[in-house]
Structure 1
Amino acid sequence: MIPSGAIYLVSGVTDMRKSIDGLSIIVADVLEMDPLSEAWFIFCNRGRDKLKILFWDTNGFWLYYRRLEKGRFKWPKPNYAGHIQLSRQQLNWLLSGLTIENPKAHQPIIGKQVR
């Protein structure tokens, strides 16, 4: 599936024993966001080798789970807000083992006009 709404990386670490109910409580109570929105919420464990993606779709939650057999996700350091908003490109970088601030990627050009 492709995200239709915002994508939020939940900074810090999350207990991967939590399922849909526990993760949605984190979204609602800790992040003070609506888990029933179209947003995707991404959680990672302390070892950075497991992540879960939680999102609401029409009449129920989806919960994606990914476990790496080798390697680690390049998870950013926790911040004050408790979350970081990502673009689809940054999500792809994260899932591909890259940092979300990939310095080698082409950056979008904004405000450029054709002459």
Structure 2
Amino acid sequence: MLSAPNIYLYREAVDFRKSINGLAAIIESETDLPLGSGSLFLFTNKQRDKVKVLYWDKTGFALWYKRLEKAKFKWPSKEKNAVFSLSDFELDRLLSGFTIIGHKAVEIHDFTMS
């Protein structure tokens, strides 16, 4: 796995027809997070069986996609904060299908999905 300066999980489900530009627009318009810093931004679909990871690799944006065949990602859904900061360990656990629920949310600012 790539080592990133920060890893952010966007809690709300997103329309998975969105690709790089649409996901980048969510981060730019709804958070104060540094989009071009090399940080990883994780998104999931409504069914929680797919994850997209957006990041800037110094030459452009890259997008990873992972789909679970028979399980769902253990995504935080009842917490108030819309964005969470994850450790490398939590990212590995999440992508392996384990729970990360119960970790601390990153304080950004209040915003709503559009």
Range of TM-score over shorter length: 0.7 to 0.9
Q: How many residues align?
A: 102
Runs of 4+ in 1 over 6 A off after TM superposition: none
Which secondary structure state, in structure 2, belongs to the residue aligned with residue 89 of structure 1? helix
Output one character per residue of 1:67-111: Cα deviation in whole Å (capped at 9) or x when no partner: 112110000115444200000000011011111148xxxxxxxxx
Which secondary structure state, in structure 1, belongs to the residue aligned with residue 26 of structure 2? helix
Normalised TM-score (structure 1): 0.82
**Structure 1: runs of 5+ lacking an equivalent:** 103-115
1:26 to 2:26 alignment: yes
**Structure 2: runs of 5+ lacking an equivalent:** 103-114
**Identity of counterpart residues, as a percentage?**
43
CA deviation after TM superposition for structure 1 residue 55, in Å: 0.2
CA deviation after TM superposition for structure 1 residue 32, in Å: 2.4
Normalised TM-score (structure 2): 0.82
Letter aligned with residue 37 of structure 1: S
Rounded to whole Å, the distance in 1 between the matches of 2:21 and 2:84 is 21
Root-mean-square deviation over aligned CA pairs:
1.5
